[in-house]
Chains A and B, each alone.
Chain A
Protein backbone atom coordinates (compact mmCIF):
# COMPACT_ATOMS: atom_id res chain seq x y z
CA UNK A 1 0.00 0.00 0.00
CA UNK A 2 1.10 3.55 -0.31
CA UNK A 3 -0.04 6.89 -1.61
CA UNK A 4 -3.23 6.88 -3.66
CA UNK A 5 -4.87 9.64 -5.71
CA UNK A 6 -7.25 10.67 -2.94
CA UNK A 7 -4.59 10.89 -0.23
CA UNK A 8 -1.73 12.42 -2.17
CA UNK A 9 -0.80 16.06 -1.92
CA UNK A 10 -0.16 17.75 -5.24
CA UNK A 11 2.47 20.44 -5.75
CA UNK A 12 -0.36 23.00 -5.79
CA UNK A 13 -1.47 21.75 -2.37
CA UNK A 14 1.88 22.70 -0.86
CA UNK A 15 1.53 26.26 -2.17
CA UNK A 16 -1.63 26.75 -0.16
CA UNK A 17 -1.39 24.08 2.50
CA UNK A 18 -4.01 24.88 5.18
CA UNK A 19 -1.91 23.05 7.76
CA UNK A 20 0.93 25.54 7.39
CA UNK A 21 -1.16 28.63 6.59
CA UNK A 22 -3.50 28.40 9.55
CA UNK A 23 -0.85 27.77 12.18
CA UNK A 24 1.46 30.52 10.98
CA UNK A 25 -1.46 32.97 11.17
CA UNK A 26 -2.52 31.87 14.64
CA UNK A 27 -1.20 34.43 17.18
CA UNK A 28 -1.45 31.79 19.90
CA UNK A 29 1.35 29.70 18.42
CA UNK A 30 5.02 30.11 17.66
CA UNK A 31 5.61 27.99 14.55
CA UNK A 32 9.27 27.00 14.48
CA UNK A 33 9.23 25.32 11.08
CA UNK A 34 8.00 22.57 8.82
CA UNK A 35 9.97 19.33 8.92
CA UNK A 36 9.62 17.17 5.82
CA UNK A 37 10.49 13.56 6.48
CA UNK A 38 10.46 10.72 3.98
CA UNK A 39 9.05 7.27 4.47
CA UNK A 40 11.71 4.71 3.46
CA UNK A 41 11.04 1.25 2.09
CA UNK A 42 12.83 -0.76 4.77
CA UNK A 43 11.38 -1.16 8.23
CA UNK A 44 14.77 -0.72 9.90
CA UNK A 45 15.23 2.50 7.93
CA UNK A 46 11.81 3.71 9.04
CA UNK A 47 12.80 3.46 12.70
CA UNK A 48 16.15 5.08 11.96
CA UNK A 49 14.42 8.10 10.40
CA UNK A 50 11.82 8.26 13.19
CA UNK A 51 14.65 8.37 15.74
CA UNK A 52 16.16 11.36 13.97
CA UNK A 53 12.82 13.15 13.93
CA UNK A 54 12.47 12.59 17.66
CA UNK A 55 15.93 14.05 18.22
CA UNK A 56 15.10 17.02 16.01
CA UNK A 57 11.95 17.81 17.99
CA UNK A 58 13.91 17.41 21.22
CA UNK A 59 16.69 19.70 20.03
CA UNK A 60 14.23 22.35 18.90
CA UNK A 61 12.60 22.18 22.32
CA UNK A 62 9.09 22.28 20.92
CA UNK A 63 5.94 22.27 23.04
CA UNK A 64 3.84 20.43 20.50
CA UNK A 65 3.95 18.72 17.14
CA UNK A 66 1.37 18.41 14.39
CA UNK A 67 2.23 15.43 12.28
CA UNK A 68 0.71 14.67 8.93
CA UNK A 69 1.26 11.42 7.04
CA UNK A 70 0.56 11.13 3.33
CA UNK A 71 -0.91 7.87 2.12
CA UNK A 72 -1.78 4.91 4.28
CA UNK A 73 -0.84 1.34 5.09
CA UNK A 74 2.93 1.06 4.81
CA UNK A 75 3.30 4.78 5.66
CA UNK A 76 1.58 4.23 8.98
CA UNK A 77 4.51 2.17 10.26
CA UNK A 78 6.61 5.35 10.16
CA UNK A 79 3.72 7.42 11.41
CA UNK A 80 3.35 5.21 14.49
CA UNK A 81 7.12 5.24 15.04
CA UNK A 82 7.21 9.06 14.83
CA UNK A 83 4.41 9.39 17.35
CA UNK A 84 6.12 6.94 19.67
CA UNK A 85 9.42 8.83 19.52
CA UNK A 86 7.60 12.07 20.34
CA UNK A 87 5.46 10.45 23.01
CA UNK A 88 8.46 8.98 24.80
CA UNK A 89 9.91 12.48 24.99
CA UNK A 90 6.63 13.75 26.43
CA UNK A 91 6.04 16.08 23.48
CA UNK A 92 2.30 16.36 22.79
CA UNK A 93 1.64 15.29 19.20
CA UNK A 94 -1.53 15.35 17.16
CA UNK A 95 -1.61 13.27 14.00
CA UNK A 96 -3.53 13.82 10.78
CA UNK A 97 -3.79 10.97 8.35
CA UNK A 98 -6.15 8.88 6.29
CA UNK A 99 -6.73 5.96 8.65
CA UNK A 100 -8.92 4.05 6.19
CA UNK A 101 -10.48 1.15 8.11
CA UNK A 102 -8.10 1.28 11.04
CA UNK A 103 -4.35 1.50 10.89
CA UNK A 104 -1.93 -1.35 10.33
CA UNK A 105 -0.47 -0.73 13.75
CA UNK A 106 -1.08 1.52 16.70
CA UNK A 107 0.60 2.33 19.96
CA UNK A 108 -0.25 4.03 23.23
CA UNK A 109 0.88 7.46 21.97
CA UNK A 110 -1.65 7.57 19.14
CA UNK A 111 -4.74 8.72 20.99
CA UNK A 112 -4.97 11.97 19.07
CA UNK A 113 -5.16 10.98 15.44
CA UNK A 114 -7.57 12.80 13.17
CA UNK A 115 -8.96 10.77 10.31
CA UNK A 116 -8.93 12.58 6.96
CA UNK A 117 -11.45 10.26 5.36
CA UNK A 118 -14.08 12.48 3.74
CA UNK A 119 -15.85 10.06 1.45
CA UNK A 120 -17.08 8.05 4.43
CA UNK A 121 -16.16 4.86 2.60
CA UNK A 122 -12.90 4.23 4.44
CA UNK A 123 -11.16 3.29 1.23
CA UNK A 124 -9.10 4.75 -1.59
CA UNK A 125 -11.67 6.40 -3.83
CA UNK A 126 -9.21 7.22 -6.62
CA UNK A 127 -10.53 10.79 -6.75
CA UNK A 128 -7.65 13.26 -6.67
CA UNK A 129 -7.29 15.10 -3.32
CA UNK A 130 -10.62 13.93 -1.95
CA UNK A 131 -9.11 12.86 1.36
CA UNK A 132 -6.52 15.64 1.62
CA UNK A 133 -6.20 17.99 4.59
CA UNK A 134 -8.65 20.89 4.60
CA UNK A 135 -9.34 23.79 6.96
CA UNK A 136 -11.83 21.84 9.08
CA UNK A 137 -9.23 19.14 9.82
CA UNK A 138 -6.68 21.74 10.87
CA UNK A 139 -9.14 23.48 13.21
CA UNK A 140 -9.85 20.14 14.85
CA UNK A 141 -6.15 19.34 15.14
CA UNK A 142 -5.30 22.74 16.63
CA UNK A 143 -8.05 22.48 19.18
CA UNK A 144 -6.77 19.08 20.33
CA UNK A 145 -3.17 20.28 20.40
CA UNK A 146 -4.05 23.36 22.48
CA UNK A 147 -5.79 21.11 24.95
CA UNK A 148 -2.86 18.69 25.15
CA UNK A 149 -0.31 21.47 25.64
CA UNK A 150 -2.29 23.13 28.42
CA UNK A 151 -2.85 19.76 30.11
CA UNK A 152 0.87 19.07 30.03
CA UNK A 153 1.70 22.54 31.40
CA UNK A 154 -0.80 22.16 34.19
CA UNK A 155 0.56 18.72 35.02
CA UNK A 156 4.15 19.90 35.27
CA UNK A 157 3.53 23.09 37.27
Chain B
Protein backbone atom coordinates (compact mmCIF):
# COMPACT_ATOMS: atom_id res chain seq x y z
CA UNK B 1 0.00 0.00 0.00
CA UNK B 2 1.35 3.40 -0.98
CA UNK B 3 -0.15 6.46 0.67
CA UNK B 4 0.81 10.07 0.25
CA UNK B 5 -0.81 13.04 1.89
CA UNK B 6 0.31 16.57 0.96
CA UNK B 7 -1.41 19.68 2.23
CA UNK B 8 -1.07 23.12 0.59
CA UNK B 9 1.82 22.10 -1.56
CA UNK B 10 2.65 23.54 -4.96
CA UNK B 11 4.43 21.64 -7.66
CA UNK B 12 4.95 18.32 -5.97
CA UNK B 13 6.59 15.78 -8.28
CA UNK B 14 6.61 12.11 -7.41
CA UNK B 15 8.71 9.71 -9.39
CA UNK B 16 8.47 5.96 -9.01
CA UNK B 17 9.74 3.06 -11.07
CA UNK B 18 7.26 1.88 -13.68
CA UNK B 19 6.92 -1.58 -12.13
CA UNK B 20 5.33 -0.03 -9.02
CA UNK B 21 2.61 1.45 -11.14
CA UNK B 22 2.04 -1.85 -12.93
CA UNK B 23 1.85 -3.70 -9.64
CA UNK B 24 -0.84 -1.37 -8.33
CA UNK B 25 -2.81 -1.72 -11.55
CA UNK B 26 -2.69 -5.50 -11.36
CA UNK B 27 -3.81 -5.34 -7.75
CA UNK B 28 -6.71 -3.09 -8.67
CA UNK B 29 -7.85 -5.50 -11.40
CA UNK B 30 -7.66 -8.43 -9.01
CA UNK B 31 -9.75 -6.61 -6.43
CA UNK B 32 -12.33 -5.58 -8.99
CA UNK B 33 -12.88 -9.18 -10.17
CA UNK B 34 -15.35 -11.03 -7.98
CA UNK B 35 -13.44 -13.41 -5.73
CA UNK B 36 -16.37 -15.80 -5.57
CA UNK B 37 -17.63 -16.91 -8.94
CA UNK B 38 -21.29 -17.43 -9.43
CA UNK B 39 -22.35 -20.92 -8.44
CA UNK B 40 -24.83 -22.72 -10.60
CA UNK B 41 -27.06 -24.94 -8.55
CA UNK B 42 -28.10 -28.14 -10.28
CA UNK B 43 -30.04 -30.02 -7.60
CA UNK B 44 -30.36 -30.25 -3.86
CA UNK B 45 -30.58 -33.12 -1.45
CA UNK B 46 -31.98 -32.74 2.04
CA UNK B 47 -30.84 -35.28 4.61
CA UNK B 48 -32.80 -35.46 7.84
CA UNK B 49 -31.10 -37.23 10.68
CA UNK B 50 -33.09 -38.98 13.38
CA UNK B 51 -31.25 -39.78 16.55
CA UNK B 52 -31.44 -43.30 17.99
CA UNK B 53 -29.96 -44.08 21.38
CA UNK B 54 -31.63 -47.37 22.18
CA UNK B 55 -32.32 -50.45 20.10
CA UNK B 56 -34.46 -53.39 21.15
CA UNK B 57 -34.96 -56.69 19.40
CA UNK B 58 -38.67 -57.11 19.84
CA UNK B 59 -41.84 -58.42 18.28
CA UNK B 60 -42.41 -55.81 15.61
CA UNK B 61 -40.40 -53.08 13.98
CA UNK B 62 -41.11 -49.58 15.19
CA UNK B 63 -39.43 -46.26 15.78
CA UNK B 64 -40.61 -44.58 18.92
CA UNK B 65 -38.82 -41.33 19.66
CA UNK B 66 -35.19 -42.29 20.06
CA UNK B 67 -35.88 -45.99 20.48
CA UNK B 68 -35.74 -48.38 17.55
CA UNK B 69 -37.37 -51.77 17.88
CA UNK B 70 -36.42 -54.38 15.30
CA UNK B 71 -38.65 -57.35 14.67
CA UNK B 72 -36.74 -60.47 15.73
CA UNK B 73 -38.75 -62.62 13.34
CA UNK B 74 -37.14 -60.80 10.40
CA UNK B 75 -34.08 -63.02 10.70
CA UNK B 76 -36.25 -66.08 10.15
CA UNK B 77 -38.25 -64.45 7.36
CA UNK B 78 -35.08 -63.37 5.57
CA UNK B 79 -34.27 -67.02 4.83
CA UNK B 80 -36.85 -66.86 2.06
CA UNK B 81 -34.70 -64.33 0.18
CA UNK B 82 -32.38 -66.93 -1.29
CA UNK B 83 -31.96 -70.72 -1.06
CA UNK B 84 -28.23 -70.13 -0.59
CA UNK B 85 -28.86 -68.63 2.83
CA UNK B 86 -28.97 -71.27 5.53
CA UNK B 87 -29.09 -69.25 8.72
CA UNK B 88 -29.53 -65.60 9.70
CA UNK B 89 -28.87 -64.20 13.16
CA UNK B 90 -29.28 -60.67 14.47
CA UNK B 91 -27.82 -59.17 17.60
CA UNK B 92 -26.90 -55.83 19.12
CA UNK B 93 -23.49 -54.61 20.20
CA UNK B 94 -23.50 -51.68 22.60
CA UNK B 95 -20.61 -49.19 22.38
CA UNK B 96 -19.02 -50.47 25.61
CA UNK B 97 -19.35 -54.14 24.66
CA UNK B 98 -17.18 -54.28 21.58
CA UNK B 99 -14.88 -56.99 22.90
CA UNK B 100 -16.94 -59.68 21.23
CA UNK B 101 -15.93 -62.28 18.67
CA UNK B 102 -17.01 -61.56 15.13
CA UNK B 103 -16.98 -63.28 11.77
CA UNK B 104 -15.43 -61.59 8.77
CA UNK B 105 -17.15 -58.26 8.13
CA UNK B 106 -18.52 -57.97 4.62
CA UNK B 107 -19.95 -54.51 4.95
CA UNK B 108 -20.80 -51.67 7.32
CA UNK B 109 -23.82 -49.64 6.33
CA UNK B 110 -26.14 -46.93 7.58
CA UNK B 111 -29.93 -47.05 7.69
CA UNK B 112 -31.42 -44.48 5.34
CA UNK B 113 -34.63 -44.23 3.36
CA UNK B 114 -35.88 -42.07 0.52
CA UNK B 115 -38.82 -39.82 1.40
CA UNK B 116 -39.13 -37.83 -1.79
CA UNK B 117 -37.44 -37.94 -5.16
CA UNK B 118 -34.90 -40.36 -6.55
CA UNK B 119 -31.37 -41.02 -5.33
CA UNK B 120 -29.31 -37.83 -5.24
CA UNK B 121 -32.15 -35.33 -4.96
CA UNK B 122 -35.22 -34.66 -2.85
CA UNK B 123 -35.36 -35.77 0.77
CA UNK B 124 -33.69 -38.66 2.59
CA UNK B 125 -34.28 -39.73 6.18
CA UNK B 126 -31.48 -41.46 8.01
CA UNK B 127 -30.84 -42.85 11.46
CA UNK B 128 -27.85 -41.67 13.44
CA UNK B 129 -26.44 -43.57 16.39
CA UNK B 130 -26.98 -46.94 14.74
CA UNK B 131 -24.80 -48.72 12.20
CA UNK B 132 -25.40 -52.10 10.58
CA UNK B 133 -22.56 -54.61 10.28
CA UNK B 134 -22.98 -57.58 7.96
CA UNK B 135 -20.85 -60.61 8.77
CA UNK B 136 -20.84 -64.17 7.54
CA UNK B 137 -19.43 -67.65 7.13
CA UNK B 138 -20.40 -70.65 5.06
CA UNK B 139 -21.79 -73.92 6.38
CA UNK B 140 -18.32 -75.35 6.87
CA UNK B 141 -17.32 -72.40 8.99
CA UNK B 142 -15.21 -70.78 6.27
CA UNK B 143 -15.17 -66.99 6.52
CA UNK B 144 -16.81 -65.07 3.71
CA UNK B 145 -14.00 -62.71 2.99
CA UNK B 146 -12.08 -61.27 0.14
CA UNK B 147 -8.34 -60.83 0.30
CA UNK B 148 -7.81 -61.35 4.04
CA UNK B 149 -10.46 -61.93 6.64
CA UNK B 150 -11.46 -59.54 9.40
CA UNK B 151 -12.73 -62.21 11.80
CA UNK B 152 -11.60 -62.00 15.41
CA UNK B 153 -12.42 -59.64 18.26
CA UNK B 154 -14.55 -56.77 16.94
CA UNK B 155 -12.77 -54.07 18.95
CA UNK B 156 -9.43 -55.10 17.46
CA UNK B 157 -10.59 -55.72 13.92
CA UNK B 158 -12.21 -52.37 13.15
CA UNK B 159 -10.57 -48.97 13.03
CA UNK B 160 -13.39 -47.04 14.64
CA UNK B 161 -14.05 -43.42 13.78
CA UNK B 162 -13.00 -43.65 10.13
CA UNK B 163 -15.43 -42.38 7.48
CA UNK B 164 -16.68 -45.90 6.86
CA UNK B 165 -16.75 -47.34 10.37
CA UNK B 166 -18.94 -46.82 13.44
CA UNK B 167 -18.18 -43.91 15.74
CA UNK B 168 -17.36 -44.33 19.42
CA UNK B 169 -20.99 -44.05 20.50
CA UNK B 170 -22.79 -45.91 17.71
CA UNK B 171 -24.82 -48.99 18.53
CA UNK B 172 -24.10 -51.83 16.12
CA UNK B 173 -26.89 -53.96 14.72
CA UNK B 174 -25.09 -57.08 13.58
CA UNK B 175 -26.54 -59.36 10.95
CA UNK B 176 -24.73 -62.66 10.64
CA UNK B 177 -25.41 -64.90 7.66
CA UNK B 178 -24.50 -68.55 7.06
CA UNK B 179 -24.27 -69.43 3.37
CA UNK B 180 -24.31 -72.76 1.55
CA UNK B 181 -20.90 -74.43 1.64
CA UNK B 182 -18.53 -73.14 -1.02
CA UNK B 183 -20.72 -70.28 -2.28
CA UNK B 184 -18.80 -67.66 -0.31
CA UNK B 185 -16.30 -67.31 -3.12
CA UNK B 186 -18.86 -67.08 -5.90
CA UNK B 187 -20.72 -63.93 -6.86
CA UNK B 188 -24.13 -65.32 -5.90
CA UNK B 189 -23.12 -66.14 -2.30
CA UNK B 190 -22.19 -62.68 -1.01
CA UNK B 191 -24.99 -61.18 -3.10
CA UNK B 192 -27.51 -63.37 -1.24
CA UNK B 193 -26.03 -62.22 2.09
CA UNK B 194 -26.41 -58.58 1.07
CA UNK B 195 -29.97 -59.22 -0.08
CA UNK B 196 -30.78 -60.67 3.35
CA UNK B 197 -29.38 -57.55 4.99
CA UNK B 198 -31.37 -55.35 2.59
CA UNK B 199 -34.55 -57.32 3.33
CA UNK B 200 -34.19 -56.63 7.07
CA UNK B 201 -33.35 -52.96 6.51
CA UNK B 202 -36.32 -52.50 4.16
CA UNK B 203 -38.59 -53.12 7.14
CA UNK B 204 -36.93 -50.30 9.08
CA UNK B 205 -36.83 -48.02 5.99
CA UNK B 206 -40.59 -48.44 5.53
CA UNK B 207 -41.13 -46.73 8.90
CA UNK B 208 -38.20 -44.35 8.64
CA UNK B 209 -39.53 -42.79 5.45
CA UNK B 210 -42.75 -41.84 7.27
CA UNK B 211 -41.12 -39.96 10.16
CA UNK B 212 -42.10 -36.32 10.43
CA UNK B 213 -39.50 -33.64 9.74
CA UNK B 214 -40.25 -32.08 13.12
CA UNK B 215 -38.66 -35.02 14.92
CA UNK B 216 -35.41 -34.70 13.01
CA UNK B 217 -32.39 -33.98 15.18
CA UNK B 218 -30.53 -32.41 12.31
CA UNK B 219 -31.28 -31.34 8.76
CA UNK B 220 -28.54 -30.82 6.19
CA UNK B 221 -28.96 -29.60 2.64
CA UNK B 222 -26.41 -30.70 0.07
CA UNK B 223 -26.17 -28.92 -3.24
CA UNK B 224 -24.73 -30.13 -6.50
CA UNK B 225 -23.11 -26.99 -7.85
CA UNK B 226 -20.97 -26.03 -10.77
CA UNK B 227 -18.46 -23.21 -10.47
CA UNK B 228 -17.76 -21.91 -13.97
CA UNK B 229 -14.28 -20.53 -14.42
CA UNK B 230 -12.68 -22.67 -11.76
CA UNK B 231 -10.51 -25.70 -12.60
CA UNK B 232 -12.76 -28.57 -13.66
CA UNK B 233 -12.07 -31.67 -11.59
CA UNK B 234 -13.18 -35.24 -12.08
CA UNK B 235 -12.96 -37.74 -9.25
CA UNK B 236 -12.33 -41.30 -10.35
CA UNK B 237 -13.01 -44.18 -8.02
CA UNK B 238 -11.55 -47.43 -9.21
CA UNK B 239 -13.39 -50.26 -7.53
CA UNK B 240 -13.05 -54.01 -7.67
CA UNK B 241 -14.87 -55.67 -10.55
CA UNK B 242 -13.38 -59.14 -10.68
CA UNK B 243 -16.25 -61.03 -9.11
CA UNK B 244 -17.46 -62.42 -5.78
CA UNK B 245 -16.85 -59.61 -3.30
CA UNK B 246 -14.81 -57.55 -5.72
CA UNK B 247 -17.95 -55.84 -6.81
CA UNK B 248 -20.03 -52.71 -6.27
CA UNK B 249 -23.72 -52.17 -6.87
CA UNK B 250 -24.65 -48.81 -8.36
CA UNK B 251 -27.76 -46.70 -7.98
CA UNK B 252 -30.10 -48.84 -5.86
CA UNK B 253 -33.72 -47.86 -5.20
CA UNK B 254 -33.00 -46.93 -1.58
CA UNK B 255 -29.88 -45.22 -0.16
CA UNK B 256 -27.16 -47.84 0.29
CA UNK B 257 -29.57 -50.61 -0.66
CA UNK B 258 -29.37 -53.59 -2.97
CA UNK B 259 -32.78 -53.74 -4.67
CA UNK B 260 -32.83 -52.03 -8.04
CA UNK B 261 -29.06 -51.63 -8.24
CA UNK B 262 -26.87 -52.66 -11.16
CA UNK B 263 -23.56 -54.39 -10.57
CA UNK B 264 -20.44 -52.73 -11.94
CA UNK B 265 -19.50 -56.17 -13.34
CA UNK B 266 -22.73 -56.39 -15.33
CA UNK B 267 -22.02 -52.90 -16.61
CA UNK B 268 -18.77 -54.23 -18.06
CA UNK B 269 -16.76 -52.29 -15.47
CA UNK B 270 -17.15 -49.22 -17.68
CA UNK B 271 -16.90 -45.77 -16.14
CA UNK B 272 -20.24 -44.51 -14.83
CA UNK B 273 -20.54 -40.87 -13.82
CA UNK B 274 -22.38 -40.10 -10.60
CA UNK B 275 -23.13 -36.68 -9.16
CA UNK B 276 -21.65 -35.83 -5.73
CA UNK B 277 -25.18 -35.88 -4.29
CA UNK B 278 -25.81 -39.34 -5.66
CA UNK B 279 -22.69 -40.60 -3.90
CA UNK B 280 -23.82 -38.82 -0.73
CA UNK B 281 -27.21 -40.50 -1.04
CA UNK B 282 -25.75 -44.00 -1.11
CA UNK B 283 -25.54 -44.69 -4.85
CA UNK B 284 -22.62 -47.05 -4.26
CA UNK B 285 -23.24 -50.25 -2.34
CA UNK B 286 -20.07 -52.13 -1.44
CA UNK B 287 -20.08 -55.88 -1.72
CA UNK B 288 -16.71 -56.28 -0.05
Chain A residues within CB distance 8 Å of chain B:
1-6, 8-21, 23-24, 27-41, 45, 49, 52-53, 56-57, 60-71, 73-75, 78-79, 82, 124, 126-130, 132-134, 145, 149
Q: Is the C-beta of B122 less than 8 angstroms from some C-beta in chain A?
A: no
One digit per residue, 1 when the CB lies within 8 angstroms of any chain A CB and 0 when it does not, for chain B 235-252 equals: 111111111011010100
Q: Are A4 and B148 in contact (CB under 8 A)?
A: yes
Measured in the bound complex, the distance between the Cα atoms of B113 and A51 in whole Å is: 36
For B146, B237, B243, B250, which residue has the most chain A Cβ atoms within 10 angstroms?
B237
Q: List 29 A-B contacts (CB under 8 A).
A: A2-B240, A5-B148, A10-B108, A13-B286, A14-B256, A19-B235, A20-B235, A29-B233, A31-B234, A33-B234, A34-B235, A34-B274, A34-B276, A37-B272, A38-B269, A39-B240, A39-B241, A39-B246, A39-B269, A41-B241, A49-B270, A63-B232, A64-B231, A65-B234, A68-B237, A126-B149, A129-B164, A130-B159, A145-B233
**Any A CB within 8 A of the CB of B280:** yes
A-B contact count (CB 8 A): 283
- Interface SS of chain A: mixed
Binding site for A on B (CB under 8 A): 36, 104-105, 107-110, 112, 131, 145-150, 152, 156-159, 162-165, 224-243, 245-246, 248, 250, 255-256, 264-265, 267-276, 278-286, 288
A21 contact set on B, CB distance < 8 A? 280
Inter-chain pairs besides A10-B108, A70-B237, A128-B150, 16 sampled, C-beta below 8 Å:
A3-B240, A5-B104, A11-B282, A15-B280, A20-B235, A30-B230, A35-B271, A36-B274, A37-B238, A37-B270, A38-B238, A39-B269, A60-B234, A62-B232, A129-B163, A132-B164
Contact B288 A8 (CB under 8 A): yes
Do residues A70 and B238 form an inter-chain contact, with CB atoms below 8 A?
Answer: yes
